Amino acid sequence: MQTLKSVLDGAAGEGLISAEQAGTLLPYMAARGVTLQSPSKADTLDIAGSAEDRAISPIEDTEAPRFVRGFHDVLITIGVAIAMAGVWGVGAFLAALPVIIVLAEILVKRQRLALPAVLLTLLYVHWIFVTTVIALDSFIGQPEPEPVLHFLLVMLPFAILLPPFYWRYRIPLSLSLWFLSLAATALGLIFLALSRFTGSADVLADHPVVASAIFLVAALGLISLAMVYDLSDRFRVTRRSDIAFWLHLITAPALLYAMLAFVFLGDFANEQLFSGSKGLPDALIIVGIVIVLMAIGLIIDRRAFVTSGLVSLGLAIASLLQGIEAAPEGYVFLTLLIVGVVVLTIGIGWPHFRRWAVTPLPMALKEKLPPLR
């Protein structure tokens, strides 16, 4: 059976509509639930139908970010990476920004290339970071400000310089990074205020409960923001879906480690979280938290919640296996095997696992989630 995209592409190929019009019509029609039914049902477009009738074909992926539209994108991205490496080597940060802007005007503003847009965003963020560090070293000098104040000064330029970049080029990653910089700046202000109020030079170590709770609230806030974008585009055909993708990719690990920090309090600071002395109960708690996040990822159809927990899952399993009488290589490879099997199982059976997770949910909630495949 043909997909809506293949029909529009065919119409563009026959000259009935332009390629640009085909690309514009696809998200417009998909956002309204327009699909192609099999000939046995009808030979027309279904523009009504229930949510179950609008379920996406098994070969399609609702989480496919629009990074690459062909090898042309890959080739251009490779060229940008090589050229910018040369620019950094010859002109350092002084020449980097003008080149980034010129390339963004050509490749993003005019040609609308997605993968180069992602790389140029990362290069712009890197330029902000390097320039900020150099400026702080030059103007502040020695002695360096306290860590919290230094962190705040590093974050502020991101919160200021990312909005105009997004306004000009509309790159979803840049908006997601701006939200992250706002959250980081807010955390910096909060911890700086706590440091002044309590007189503590290291709030994280001296007040682990408060610090962990603040991190957890910030992570939950970012995840909630990601869900606002996600639920506003359940068919995932607009820029809002791409913004949600990047937010989930960035904030899912933040939520995981904020939860672990809250459960184990100061263990991150003293590097005892994944030590062999943690024992069976604590390792099982880590595994349980990872499983809960994986279940959330299944329900909202976001694999970022699965990938974010792989490192923690592997370290927790290794901690569980350290008790066996075996050489370190033995449980290291066994851990890799277990994590690999988990990833393959979830990846291969994702549509089926998601159906099992979503089916028991209330219909009012299912109508807001991406359709089952």
Phi, then psi, of 35 in degrees rounded to 5: -135, 170
> Would you kindly state where each structural domain of the chain is located, as residue ranges?
1-49, 274-373
Phi, then psi, of 42 in degrees rounded to 5: -170, 160
Task: Evaluate the omega torsion of the peptide bond into residue 360 and state whether it is cis, within 30 degrees of 0.
Answer: no
Q: Tell which phi-psi region holds residue 203, choosing left (phi > 0), alpha (psi between -120 and 50) or beta.
A: alpha
What is the per-residue pLDDT across 64-78, written as a single tens digit (0 to 9) for each? 556 666 788 889 999
What pLDDT does residue 40 have?
Answer: 41
What is the per-residue pLDDT across 275-294, written as a single tens digit (0 to 9) for each? 444 566 777 888 888 899 99
What pLDDT does residue 33 have?
Answer: 62
CB 359 within 8 A of CB 299: no
What pLDDT does residue 285 have?
Answer: 84
36: β partners: 45
User: What element of type H or E holds 46?
Assistant: strand 45-46
What pLDDT does residue 91 have?
Answer: 72
What pLDDT does residue 95 have?
Answer: 87
The structure's pTM equals 0.78
What pLDDT does residue 125 have?
Answer: 97
Angle at 214 between CA 208 and CA 219, to 5 degrees: 125
User: For the chain, which residues score pLDDT lower than 70?
Assistant: 1-4, 6-16, 18-20, 22-23, 31-69, 141-144, 265-280, 323-330
Which of these, 299, 293, 292, lies nearest to 369 by C-alpha position? 299
Phi, then psi, of 46 in degrees rounded to 5: -90, 110
- DSSP annotation of 325: S
What pLDDT does residue 62 have?
Answer: 60
What pLDDT does residue 162 have?
Answer: 97
Cα 346 to Cα 60, 257, 291, 320, 342: the distances in Å are 17, 22, 12, 22, 6
Query: How crowded is the C-beta side of 340, counted as CA atoms within 13 Å?
Result: 6
Helix (H, G, I), strand (E, B) or coil at 35: strand
- Angle between helix axes 172-198 and 114-139 (nearest 10 degrees) is 30
What pLDDT does residue 120 have?
Answer: 96
The full DSSP string for 216-260 is HHHHHHHHHHHHHHHHTTTT--SHHHHHHHHHHHHHHHHHHHHHH
Q: Please, which residues have CB within 8 angstroms of residue 144's CB and are 6 or more apart in sequence?
A: 150
